[in-house]
Structures are given as C-alpha cells and as structure tokens.
Structure 1
C-alpha cells in the first residue's frame, strides 16, 4: 500500500468514528484538503467547493459500496456488480450484453464475471440473437427477480439508515442536484 492509499484509509477510518470527534476530524479533513489545494494555487472558492464535493462523493461512494456489499449483497450471494446488472435488467427488461455496461455503470470485465456467476446461479439467462449470432441477450429469470426483490428491500433499509441524517427537504434537494450532475453531457476538455 502506497502512502496515498494509506492516507485515504486513515481518512476513511476517521470518518467512521462516531460522535463529535469523528465529525471534528471530517471537518479537519475538509479544511486540510482546501489548505493543500490553496498551496497548489487554487484560490477560487467555487473550484475549492467543486474539489471538496467530488472528493466527498468519491469517498461516500466507496463507503456505500462497501456497506451494501457487506450488509445486503454478500448475504444474498451477490456482488455490487451483480446487483447492478439484475437491477438494470429489471428496469429495462432483456438487454443485449454489450448494453448492460452502459445502463448499469459496470465495466466490461466486471459484467463478464458477474454474468457468469448470475447465470450459473440461475438468476439470468443469455440467449444468442438469431439474426446476429455474435450478440447475446440477457434476461432476468423468476429466481433472479426474487433475489433482486430481497436485495432491494435490504438495500432500501440501508439507504434509509444512511440518509436519516438529512431532513426530507434536504434529501429531495440532494436528489435534484445529483440528478442534474449525472444527466449532463460530459464537459468538454479544457
């Protein structure tokens, strides 16, 4: 583990601490992050906010994934990638295998591995397209739907626990803001 990775582990462990001390260290991290970026020459408050926002989202995503894997998906014999694939098939219906990555946010490598596992457990089927034998269409099985329902119920409980610190209006505003960021076109390069 390199020094940067070790630093992130310390920060992540710090954030997990309960009570005032954990909150104090989280604020300390934010202040140190901004301080170091100012030393690099970033002084625009909007840029500093953007840096902190992206850093916080990245840290939160890692924590959520780890938590959901531990408390929801692993107990059901799933992985995070497997859950996202099942969820995409539930939302969109049968999909061409090459489209699953685009709609589930998974990488090609994780899709291939997860699909093999999901198929061996009888949660999905893969069928060749008659008009183009190179294409595979992936479909949720009834057992896959049942497993997904259990995962959704358990994940909803975890999501409720994670968002309990927000008032209803704060949660609605956060959803709106994140949807705005997610749905924009990828910004052009500078």
Structure 2
C-alpha cells in the first residue's frame, strides 16, 4: 500500500501591524503619491476670512465694554474715597473733608488742624488723592438738599462720629452713559444707580 503525501509548500505569513507606516501607494502610472501633509490655499484663506469677520464683530463690542469699565472704575473710586474718609474720621476721631472738583475730576480727602468749615489752605493737609478715569466727567454733585454746584470744588464733611453730609454724584462717560452714587449721611451707605 502506498500513501501519497503531498509536497510541502512554503507559506509566508502576512501580519498586519496597525501602527506600522503604510508604504506609499502607487498610481496607475506607477509613480509614488506622497501623503497629504499641508493645507491648501483655499483652506488657509477661508480661516483668515473667518478670523477677520470675527474681529470686525467683536472689536466694537470690546470698545464699548472698555468705556463701561472706565465708568465703573471711576464710580468705585468715588465710593472707596467715601468709605476711606468715613473710616479714617472714626478711627482718628477727627473731622475730615472729601473734596470733589467737577472741573478737574479730582477727588481728595483733606484733614486740618481746625474745624472742617475753615477754608484756610494753610490749616489743611491732603491725605489721599484720586481722579476719575480719562473720558469720564463728574456731571453733577449735590450736597444735602442744596441744588447742584455749578463751579469749584464741593466739600463733604465727615464727623468723628461717622456721619457725613448726604450727597450724590453723577458720573458720565463720553457716550452719555451715567452712573449715580448716592450716599446717606447718617448710615454712610453708598448706593450706585
């Protein structure tokens, strides 16, 4: 009896490694194609156009926001000056004055050796000075029930007991937006409207 054993054929194992780089494929003509690694000119121009449109839309909004931030910063500076004057008058047990000059936009806290009603510049010392931001105007200052002061600095008195003259100040930016700071003289509370 004879058994036929087929001849051995050699097989090559083909393994596929997913992370292995692929060989450049050949086109019909036999030349190699390079893999795509860059952006086309149209894609670059499209991105540039989108960025420019976004810039045109957002820049005016940012400029308005910046104007508003200057108005808010000036309002906060006025409130800080009021709080500082009130707290220093109580802590030091002496009369102080907050002087607001609508013409220059300057706010300063004055202390003196004499009574706060004394306007002699030799008897006063400047304790703290602030100015409103550029582009912001002090439109109106009212002390108590008096009408708005038209020219010259306005003085608000602070007593050692923590009281001050009730006052309100209107701040206005170049676009006509306004913020009002109203201070109650007895409680010392500042309200921003």
Which fold has the larger relative contact order, with Cα–Cα distance below 8 Å and residues 6 or more apart in sequence? 2
Q: If the TM-score is normalised by the length of the shorter chain, which range does it land in?
A: under 0.3
TM score, norm. by length of structure 2: 0.25
TM score, norm. by length of structure 1: 0.25
Q: Which has the larger radius of gyration?
A: 2
Name the structure where helix makes up a greater proportion of residues: 1
